[in-house]
Amino acid sequence: MPIIKLNKLRPGMIPSSNVVELNGRTLILSGVKIQEKHLSILKKWGITQIEVYGEDEKESVVTEEERDKYSIPEQISDALLINAIEECSHLFKLNDVNVPLTKEFFRLAVGYTIRNHPDVEPFDVT
């Protein structure tokens, strides 16, 4: 996975791992598409480069490990899972998702966001 310098980073690119500032605070979660606002956030926090998915890896952004982490069934599309992670990351943007309890709340929030989608059959989130 390529490491991209901040001046080469463009909206639409997807971080392959959480972007974390020096004190351990998560700024952007992996799998969330970079937007214009993220570029200014990274600049303000002094982040000079991040690791992103390559062009050929974008199709398989969601790994089996991530599906297991969020307890998401295989029939749920990658796009729906990525959208749920992105939506929940906005809700948790002021929290440190590396704290175990917050990490669990985030996992549950992603699961319930997907479960409550009108096109999804109910499934057990826990």
| 28 lies in the same domain as 71 | no
Among the candidates 35, 60, 85, a domain finishes at: 60
Q: What is the CATH number of the domain that holds 31?
A: 3.90.105.10
| Tens of pLDDT, residues 15-60 | 888 899 888 888 888 778 888 889 999 999 999 999 887 755 444 4
Whole-number Cα distances in Å, 21 to 7, 30, 48, 116, 120: 17, 14, 11, 32, 35
Of the listed ranges 51-60, 61-70, 73-82, 101-110, the least confidently predicted one is 51-60
| 52 lies in the same domain as 1 | yes
Q: pTM above 0.85? A: no
Q: Which two tokens stand for residue 98?
A: 């590396």
Counting residues of the chain whose pLDDT is more than 70, the rounded percentage is 93
How far apart, in whole angstroms, are the C-alpha atoms of residue 22 and residue 56? 30
